[in-house]
A = this chain, B = another copy of it.
Amino acid sequence: MSNPLILDGLRVAKEIHQKTQERAQKLRKQGIVPCLATVLVGDNPSSHTYVRMKAKACEKYGLTSVRIHLPEETTTEELVAKIEELNRDPRVHGILLQHPVPSHIDERKAFETIDLEKDVDGVTSHGYGEVSMGFGQYPSCTPAGIMAILDYYKIPIEGKHAVVIGRSPILGKPVSQLLLNRNATVTVCHSRTVNLPHHVSQADIVVAAVGKPRFVQGDWIKPGAVIIDAGYNKGNIGDVDFEACLPKAGAITPVPGGPGPVTIAFLLKHTVDAAERTLNAKQHVKQDLA
């Protein structure tokens, strides 16, 4: 059997970032600095790292970011009020609420507060619904990144059987809708699935989004299957047993270097999309007044 293709997320991300950077520069010349507001609640060290990475990426590619750090004891109401403030702030084009928030907060309520026009991370139910119906502006960033990797490597999707392991609101569910809209036959598996290995063994495309280190086993994989590992567990370990799956796979993403970097690329791209939309809206007003 031929060597499996290693799907390089960094390469895909680089291409997206390049276009984003050009667009950000153009916007700056027109007096608009694309701005992402990141909201972090509490002291989870991984969340700190993620938010820092996102802010640094903004800086690198010509965007700016506002970092809001709220204390662990923040209430749902306080978080909602802060998000509403960011919704109203015309300098802010995109809002990212770093998941997870402390358990006493109603995370869903906080997500739902984000204005659809600023939901560049694709976390609102409304955004999810629009994406599912095929016309959403901002799909969740990891699902968007997964589709971009498949497209970059020209992996056929139509008519293929995709098995998604996981059904979270920002990963398993939206990626299943994106795959379905691209004419894959899609099976969604999860913690209550009976005989998961059987389901995975039927897949032409496997998306692992379950949050358990090295969960997907080599002997589950149909020879030649495309494996996308969207997991990211402590110690740079994915949801897929990479070494065991590699010999069976037709193509596979590594961890790190799979959907992770492309996720950030889409976050920035969406923020620039949102900034461009405000520019277009302004020009409409000017024309109306002319």
A173 at the interface (CB under 8 A from B): yes
A133 at the interface (CB under 8 A from B): yes
Are B133 and A108 in contact, CB atoms less than 8 angstroms apart? yes
| Minimum CB–CB distance for A115 against chain B, Å | 13
Cβ of A251 < 8 Å from any Cβ of B?
no
- Tell which of A18-26, A31-39, A184-192 binds the partner: A184-192
Closest residue of chain B to A158 (Cβ to Cβ) is B192
Is chain A's interface secondary structure helix, strand, loop, or mixed overall? Answer: mixed
Q: How far is the CB of A51 from chain B (nearest CB, A)?
A: 24
Instruction: Check A186–B188 contact: CB distance below 8 A.
Output: yes
Q: Does A194 contact B (CB under 8 A)?
A: yes
Q: Decide: A130 near B135, CB < 8 A? Known: A183-B190, A185-B194.
A: no
CB distance from A183 to the nearest CB of B (A): 4
Give A70 to B231 CA distance when docked, in angstroms: 52
Across the interface, A108 reaches (CB within 8 A) one of B108, B128, B135, namely B135
Residues of B within 8 A of A187 (CB): 185-188
A127 sits at the interface (CB 8 A) = yes
Q: Check A126 for interface membership: any CB of B closer than 8 A.
A: yes
State whether the Cβ of A236 lies closer than 8 Å to any Cβ in chain B. Answer: no
Contact between chains at A193 and B188 (CB < 8 Å): no
Which residues on the B side are within 8 Å of A180 (C-beta)? 167, 173, 188, 190
| A173:B132 contact, CB within 8 angstroms | yes
In the bound complex, what is the Cα–Cα distance between A186 and B108 (angstroms)? 24
A169 touches B108 (CB 8 A): no
A100 within 8 A of B: no
If the complex has contacts A125-B126, A126-B126, A133-B125, are A190 and B185 also in contact, measured as CB distance less than 8 A? yes
Binary contact readout A105-120 vs B (1 if CB under 8 angstroms, 0 otherwise):
0001000000000000
> Closest residue of chain B to A159, judged by CB?
B194
Q: A197 in the interface, Cβ–Cβ < 8 Å? A: no
> Contact partner of A132 among B125, B189, B192, B199, CB < 8 A?
B125
From B130, B159, B185, B190, A125 is in contact (CB under 8 Å) with B130
- Give the chain B neighbours of A108 by CB distance below 8 A: 133, 135
Contact of A129 among B126, B159, B160, B193 (CB under 8 A): B126
Chain A residues packing against B (C-beta within 8 Å): 108, 124-130, 132-133, 135-136, 158-161, 167, 169, 173, 176-177, 180, 183, 185-190, 192-194, 199
Give me 20 A-to-B residue pairs in the complex whose CB atoms sit less than 8 angstroms apart, sorted by A's number.
A125-B132, A125-B136, A126-B126, A128-B133, A129-B129, A129-B130, A129-B132, A132-B169, A159-B193, A159-B194, A173-B177, A173-B180, A183-B190, A185-B188, A185-B189, A185-B190, A185-B192, A185-B199, A186-B188, A187-B187
Instruction: Kindly list 4 other residue pairs between chains A and B, CB separation below 8 angstroms, not including A125-B130, A159-B192.
Output: A128-B132, A132-B169, A160-B194, A185-B188
